[in-house]
């Protein structure tokens, strides 16, 4: 089969399309024929070698890329129940230390990392859900805010931020969205009650003008750090999607969401997407062989939705 890997850490030119043996499904595993694979910022960070430098993954001669997958079950390993050949599925490859990712024609995942694909949703759209949807859901779980609480979401028009706004609204949270001025209508349509434009001189003050005393929690998808922390009330909650979290000043509980594959949680997200209650956004598609072009486009920024590779 064809797969995209990196053998050296550099720019998009480091991506190589190679021929490798089709992987076999072992006990508790499922082999998926890939219909679509999402392109995420973590893929570019992996390609660059930054994760090795940060000690988050060990050096490898060959590193596979790609976390998100939508496709069909091709084969199941011993001990797998609930999935069978031909089933449409979505899944998350959450391990960094493997030679193959979802940028491939086939991928093998633990059955516990898979969920039924959202019914009636094209695979290209479904492939945008696992990583970003689970990140948003697990971040909200870490925040632990009750219905009626106020939440600041930074980067609210991005992939993680957009899902966070929708999921928070579904949980009964009152959302302050921070995003580009041109995205106000988008994030309000996703469920935000209040809006603060990116580039505001003092975002914390702007949020506190809307929610006196500060919000109960913040989900910092834009990695603003202490700038976003300033909008949170004393002894509130703050979750970042990066490994670099600010100090928990003023008794604020600070945490980092480290994404983990979770088939049952993904199945819940899939059902919401099938019901039209989660918005799946595709910026563009690229053939697997043009993965480097997708990475160049990702580096250019300004995308609304995910780029998706199609084998």
Asked whether residue 115 falls in the same domain as residue 211, the answer is no
In a shared domain, residues 249 and 302: no
Whether 235 is covered by a domain: the verdict is yes
> Contact at 8 Å (CB) between 306 and 282?
yes
Residue 163 lies in a domain: yes
Same domain, 89 and 103: yes
Do 215 and 228 sit in the same domain of this protein? yes
Q: Which helix (H) or strand (E) holds 290?
A: none
Provide the CATH number for the domain around residue 180: 3.40.50.720
* 12 and 49 fall within a common domain: yes
Query: Whole-model pTM?
Result: 0.96
Range of the domain at 181: 132-256
Together in a domain, 24 and 46: yes
In total, how many domains does the chain have?
Answer: 2
Is 265 a member of any domain? no
57 and 111 both lie in a single domain: yes
> Is residue 269 domain-resident?
no
Write down the pLDDT at residue 304: 87
145 and 90 share a domain? Answer: no
For 131, the enclosing helix (H) or strand (E) is: helix 130-143
Does 275 fall in a domain? no
Residue 257: per-residue pLDDT: 97
pLDDT tens by residue, the chain, 311 residues: 999 999 999 999 999 999 999 999 999 999 999 999 999 999 999 999 999 998 989 999 999 999 999 999 999 999 999 999 999 999 999 998 789 999 999 999 999 999 999 999 999 999 999 999 999 999 999 999 999 999 999 999 999 999 999 999 999 999 999 999 999 999 999 999 999 999 999 999 999 999 999 999 999 999 999 999 999 999 999 999 987 899 999 999 999 999 999 999 999 999 999 999 999 999 999 999 999 999 999 999 888 899 999 99
CA distance 192 to 19: 46
What's 292's domain CATH number? 3.90.180.10
Report the distance separating Cα 180 and Cα 183, nearest Å. 5
**Same-domain pairing of 106 and 139:** no
User: What is the Cα–Cα distance from 54 to 50, expressed in whole angstroms?
Assistant: 6
271 in a structural domain: no
């Amino acid at each position: 089969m064809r797969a995209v890997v990196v053998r050296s850490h550099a720019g998009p030119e480091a991506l190589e399309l190679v021929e490798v043996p089709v992987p076999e499904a072992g006990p508790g595993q499922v082999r998926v024929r890939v219909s679509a694979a999402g392109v995420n910022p973590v893929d570019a960070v992996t390609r660059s070698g930054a994760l090795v430098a940060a000690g988050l993954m060990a050096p490898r001669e060959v590193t596979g890329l790609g976390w998100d997958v939508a496709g069909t079950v091709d084969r199941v390993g011993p001990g797998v129940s609930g999935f069978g050949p031909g089933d449409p599925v979505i899944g998350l490859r959450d391990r960094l230390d493997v030679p193959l990712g979802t940028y491939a024609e086939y991928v093998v995942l633990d059955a516990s990392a898979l969920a039924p694909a959202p019914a009636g949703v094209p695979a290209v759209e479904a492939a945008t859900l696992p990583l970003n949807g689970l990140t948003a859901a697990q971040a909200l779980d870490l925040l632990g805010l009750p219905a009626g609480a106020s939440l600041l979401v930074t980067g609210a028009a991005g992939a993680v931020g957009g899902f966070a706004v929708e999921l928070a609204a579904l949980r009964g949270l009152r959302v302050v969205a921070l995003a580009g001025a041109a995205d106000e209508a988008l994030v309000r349509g996703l469920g935000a009650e209040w809006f603060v434009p990116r580039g505001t001189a003092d975002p914390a003050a702007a949020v506190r003008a809307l929610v006196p005393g500060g919000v109960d929690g913040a989900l910092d998808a834009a990695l603003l750090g202490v700038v976003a922390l300033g909008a949170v009330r004393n002894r509130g909650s703050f979750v970042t999607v990066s490994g670099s979290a600010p100090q928990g000043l003023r008794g604020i509980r600070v945490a980092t969401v480290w994404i983990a594959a979770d088939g049952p949680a993904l199945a819940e997200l899939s059902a919401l997407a099938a019901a039209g209650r989660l918005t799946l956004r595709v910026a563009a598609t690229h053939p697997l062989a043009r993965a480097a072009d997708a990475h160049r486009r990702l580096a250019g920024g300004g995308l609304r939705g995910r780029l998706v590779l199609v084998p």
